[in-house]
Amino acid sequence: MADVPPGVVHSEPLVETASGGADVKWTAYEKTKQYTNAFILQDGKILLGYKKRGIGEGLWNGFGGKVEPGETPAQAAVRELKEEAGIEAPLRECGTLFFHVPGLENAFDIRLFVANEYSGEIIETDEMRPRWFSTGDATADLEPIPYAKMWADDVYWIPHLLAGEKFAGRADFTADSNTMTKYWFGKEVEA
């Protein structure tokens, strides 16, 4: 049985797929705040957004934000996708992530969502500049997923997202930099 880190939310057993920083301890945390992160995957391409402000500014990511009081994570994911990319999609939960960043009051409890179709027109918003990327090699019109310009954790779990596997993990970051001191990721297996 995998040694799942504190804070990681999952419903089925997990097998480890990546880990690092074995010589450091998981940082203790007191409070968590729920966030969402949503992706559209279609015909060998993935929709990402360039974050123009706030947490993760200057990085490419899925579309998401804080779960507001009275909302479920699924409702928040749909609202944030509409607010940040202008589209609606039948999102399904595909994973969870937990992040600790020193100096922030709350650790991040993030629910990840994916859909293979959407409706509406993809638009740039105040917060995000959306763009399609190839899920494989570069193509004539699409660049590959820009891992070097994404959160350092993404390279470990996006392959699960692309493979249709449910995943969960945790990463502890240094303050004010996109560097992980300790991380653990796993995918769900049948109980």
Residues lying near ligand N6E in the complex (CB under 6 A): 35, 37, 54-56, 61, 64-66, 99, 108, 110, 151, 153-154, 173
Backbone phi and psi for residue 111, each to the nearest 5 degrees, phi listed first: -100, 130
Task: Tell me how far, at minimum, the Cβ of 120 lies from ligand N6E, in Å.
Answer: 19
Task: Tell me how far, at minimum, the Cβ of 82 lies from ligand N6E, in Å.
Answer: 12
The residue at minimum Cβ distance from ligand N6E is 65
Q: What DSSP letter does each residue of 81-95 carry, written as one string?
A: HHHHHS-B---EEEE
**For ligand N6E, which is the closer residue by CB, 14 or 48?**
48
**For ligand N6E, which is the closer residue by CB, 118 or 156?**
156
* Integer Cα distance of 91 and 37 in angstroms: 10
* CB distance 51 to 57 below 8 Å: yes
Task: Tell me how far, at minimum, the Cβ of 36 lies from ligand N6E, in Å.
Answer: 6
Task: Tell me how far, at minimum, the Cβ of 55 lies from ligand N6E, in Å.
Answer: 4
**For ligand N6E, which is the closer residue by CB, 64 or 186?**
64
**For ligand N6E, which is the closer residue by CB, 13 or 92?**
92
Task: Tell me how far, at minimum, the Cβ of 3 lies from ligand N6E, in Å.
Answer: 21
Residue 106, judged by CB atoms within 10 A of its CB (0-12, 13-18, 19+), counts as: middle
* CB distance 40 to 29 below 8 Å: no
* CB distance 59 to 53 below 8 Å: no
